């Protein structure tokens, strides 16, 4: 596969799955913080 | 009668249900093709821009509106300003059109699961689909007879939908866990299988190799915005009503990001299953990948069955593929019925348990039109008008109502009060300028093309019927707004 295709693959994965992982981790952290406060 | 609003059992149930609503057949059969057709990997750039400037902002808008107003789309818009209630009804009327034909596609899949056991489509999947299965008439003017295997499949699908929904939102909270996760598990199996096939890399090359010159074409950017808009199930009232079942003080912004990214991540992932298999098929047939590449129904019922037939354990992969399509379609059907019923129960305080069987039986009976030999043509026509004009118009009106009548900054302040992170002024610009401009341009462009060329090579009278249906649902939206509600 051309290098340019691999670069687009990496960009796609970082934006979509990296972004999703970040948002989910943030939601989990917030949930943990709420649980501790309660 | 119970006036207490139902609630999701947890925030994660809401997020999973929203993801299920957003992920549909288009994620598997449309995105990979659009990506290939509009510059391959380079398409990801306008796609991400569209996601950030239109998809996620509209998702936040719909989640915020439903949460704050605690009502389905018509009542939520009525609470913004009385005269805008019809915008909510228009969304539901478009959903009603989609709901009539979407279960018919699921009914085809039910039949194809049975065909998979014997690979009943044989060597020529195209001829089987059009001549043996659909028994297509010569045009939309000739409905021909009813195709009973499809009617039976349709009945199975509607009974399944009824059984999943009759116990309400709490039961749905548990069901969606399976209907969202099953397609993902099947997709993973298909990607692994696809990537281990000979010729898979050749297919992926066509999917991902960027052609940056495509970025200079306005059509590519419009395609990206169109894909984002339709893939997230926006403007249907679904996200509004789903978030109206959220408890108070539940996050909106982060949930909207999660739903949007999960949906687009699924599309991207599905592309690997599709293009690796297409690469294998092209190699097996001794042709180039572009020659076997199709989108939509052609991919699902012609190209993919052809490829499946060449695989080891073909029957197993056939069954898995059509179960994948059914679960995707069923999730989307839930998300179409729930806002529709909520619209009526919110305004007239009907009992949901009584409305649901009426909607299911009505949907089944009217859907029989699409099971006739000419039904395929009508499915295509209704799909085109509902999506291209109906949803685009509703999305445009949503932005105007919230951005200019309710005021975007006011909506943003409310969303920031309850969200895990704050959204900035960029959101106001997206809702007030970028999204409505793009949707407006797209609507006008489609209208010009329709006037110049008609649609799909169908006779002009069929195009007029499509226009008539679109105008009819706009009129019906005003009529429903005018009928006095029970709370008044």
**Which pLDDT belongs to residue B33?**
84
In a domain, B6, yes or no: no
Flag whether pLDDT at B19 surpasses 90. Answer: yes
Phi, psi of B287 (to 5 degrees): -125, 175
pLDDT in tens, B72-85: 999 999 999 989 99
Give the pLDDT score at B289: 87
| Residue percentage of chain B with pLDDT more than 90 | 67
CB B238 within 8 A of CB B338: yes
* Inside any domain, residue B216: yes
State chain B's mean pLDDT as an integer: 91
CB contact under 8 A, B201 and A2: no
| A28 lies within 8 A of chain B by CB | no
Q: Using the predicted structure, report yes or no on whether residue A38 has a pLDDT greater than 60.
A: no
In B, minimum Cα distance to A22 occurs at B258
Taking only the tens place, the pLDDT of each residue in B338-375 is 998 999 998 888 888 889 999 999 999 999 999 999 99
In which domain, by residue range, is B234 found? 11-482
Angle of helix B392-400 relative to helix B85-118, nearest 10 degrees? 150
| Higher-scoring residue by pLDDT: B199, B299 | B199
Residue B237 belongs to domain with CATH number: 1.20.1740.10
Predicted local confidence at residue B2, as pLDDT: 45
**d(Cα B362, Cα B100) in Å, to the nearest integer?**
9
Residue B136, domain member (yes or no): yes
State pLDDT tens for residues B94-119: 999 999 999 999 999 999 999 999 99
Do the domain assignments include residue B211?
A: yes
A24 and B CB contact within 8 Å: yes
Q: How confident is the model over B12-20, as a mean pLDDT? A: 91
pLDDT of residue B120 exceeding 90: yes
The answer on pLDDT for B1 being more than 50 is: no
Which residues have a Cβ under 8 Å from the Cβ of B415 and sit 6 or more positions away? B60, B64, B252, B253, B423
The answer, yes or no, to whether residue B248 has pLDDT greater than 80, is no
Residues forming beta bridges with residue B146, ordered by sequence position: B372
Are the C-beta atoms of residues B323 and B186 closer than 8 Å to each other?
yes
What's the pLDDT band for B222 if we cut at 50, 70, 90?
Answer: confident
Q: What is the pLDDT of residue A33?
A: 63
> What number is the ipTM of this complex?
0.91
Q: Give the count of domains, chain B.
A: 1
Q: Is B205 on the interface with A (CB under 8 A)?
A: yes
Asked if residue B487 belongs to a domain, the reply is no
Q: Do B381 and B410 contact (CB within 8 A), yes or no?
A: no
Q: Is residue B2 domain-resident?
A: no
Q: How far is A36 from chain B (nearest CA, A)?
A: 16
Q: How confident is the model at residue A36 (pLDDT cuts 50, 70, 90)?
A: low
> How many CA atoms lie less than 13 Å away from B281 in the CB half-sphere?
22
Give the distance from residue A37's alpha carbon to the nearest chain B alpha carbon, in angstroms: 15
- Is residue B1 included in any domain, yes or no? no
Q: What is the pLDDT of residues B24-45, one digit of tens each?
A: 888 888 888 888 888 888 999 9
Q: Do the beta carbons of residue B439 and residue B394 sit within 8 Å? A: no
Tell whether A15 is within 8 A of chain B (Cβ).
yes
Q: Taking CA B193 as the corner, what is the angle to CA B192 and CA B197, rounded to the nearest 5 degrees?
A: 115
Cα separation, B217 vs B46, whole angstroms: 11
pTM: 0.91
CB contact under 8 A, B41 and A9: yes
Mind listing the pLDDT tens digit for each residue in B397-446?
A: 999 999 999 999 999 999 999 898 899 999 999 999 999 999 999 899 99
Residue B74 · residue B346 · CB < 8 Å: yes
pLDDT score, position B362: 95
> Residue A2: closest CA among chain B residues belongs to which residue?
B209
Decide if B369 is inside a domain: yes
């Amino acid at each position: 596969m051309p290098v340019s295709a691999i670069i687009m693959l990496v960009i796609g994965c970082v934006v979509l799955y990296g972004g999703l992982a970040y948002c989910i981790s943030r939601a989990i952290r917030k949930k943990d913080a709420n649980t501790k406060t309660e | 009668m119970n006036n207490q609003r139902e609630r999701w059992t947890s925030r994660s149930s809401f997020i999973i249900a929203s993801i299920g609503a957003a992920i549909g057949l288009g994620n598997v059969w449309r995105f990979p093709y659009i990506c290939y057709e509009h510059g391959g990997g380079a398409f990801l750039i306008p796609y991400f821009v569209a996601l950030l400037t239109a998809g996620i902002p509209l998702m936040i808008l719909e989640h915020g509106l439903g949460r704050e107003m605690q009502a389905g789309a018509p009542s939520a818009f009525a609470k913004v300003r009385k005269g805008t209630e019809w915008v909510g009804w228009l969304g539901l009327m478009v959903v009603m059109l989609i709901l009539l034909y979407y279960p018919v596609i699921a009914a085809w899949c039910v039949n194809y699961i049975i065909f998979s056991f014997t690979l009943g489509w044989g060597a020529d999947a195209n001829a089987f689909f059009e001549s043996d299965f659909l028994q297509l008439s010569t045009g939309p003017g000739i409905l021909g007879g009813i195709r009973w295997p499809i009617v039976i499949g349709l009945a199975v699908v509607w009974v399944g939908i009824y059984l999943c929904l009759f116990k309400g939102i709490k039961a749905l909270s548990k069901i969606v866990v399976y209907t969202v996760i099953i397609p993902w598990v099947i997709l993973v199996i298909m990607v692994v299988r696809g990537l281990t096939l000979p010729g898979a890399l050749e297919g992926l090359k066509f999917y991902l190799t960027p052609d940056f010159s495509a970025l200079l074409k306005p059509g590519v950017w419009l395609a990206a915005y169109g894909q984002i808009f339709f893939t997230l199930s926006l403007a249907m009232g679904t996200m509004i009503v789903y978030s109206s079942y959220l408890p108070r003080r539940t996050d909106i912004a982060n949930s909207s990001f999660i739903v949007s990214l999960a949906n687009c991540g699924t599309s991207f992932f599905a592309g690997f299953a599709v293009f690796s298999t297409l690469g294998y098929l092209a190699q097996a047939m001794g042709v180039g990948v572009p020659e076997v590449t199709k989108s939509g129904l052609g991919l699902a019922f012609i190209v993919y069955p052809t490829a499946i037939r060449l695989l080891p354990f073909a029957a197993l992969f056939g069954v898995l593929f059509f179960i994948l399509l059914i679960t995707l379609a069923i999730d989307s059907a839930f998300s179409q019925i729930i806002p529709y019923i909520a619209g009526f129960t919110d305004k007239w305080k009907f009992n949901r348990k009584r409305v649901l069987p009426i909607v299911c039986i009505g949907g089944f009976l009217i859907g029989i039109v699409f099971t006739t030999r000419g039904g395929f043509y009508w499915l295509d026509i209704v799909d085109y008008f509902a999506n291209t004009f109906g949803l685009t118009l509703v999305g445009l009106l949503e932005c105007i109502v919230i951005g200019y009548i309710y005021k975007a900054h006011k909506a943003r302040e409310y969303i920031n009060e309850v969200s895990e992170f704050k959204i900035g002024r960029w959101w106001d610009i997206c809702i007030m300028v970028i999204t409505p401009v793009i949707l407006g341009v797209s609507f006008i462009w489609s209208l010009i093309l329709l006037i110049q060329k008609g649609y799909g090579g169908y006779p002009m009278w069929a195009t007029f019927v499509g226009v008539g249906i679109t105008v009819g649902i706009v009129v019906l939206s005003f009529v429903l707004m005018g009928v006095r509600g029970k709370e008044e």
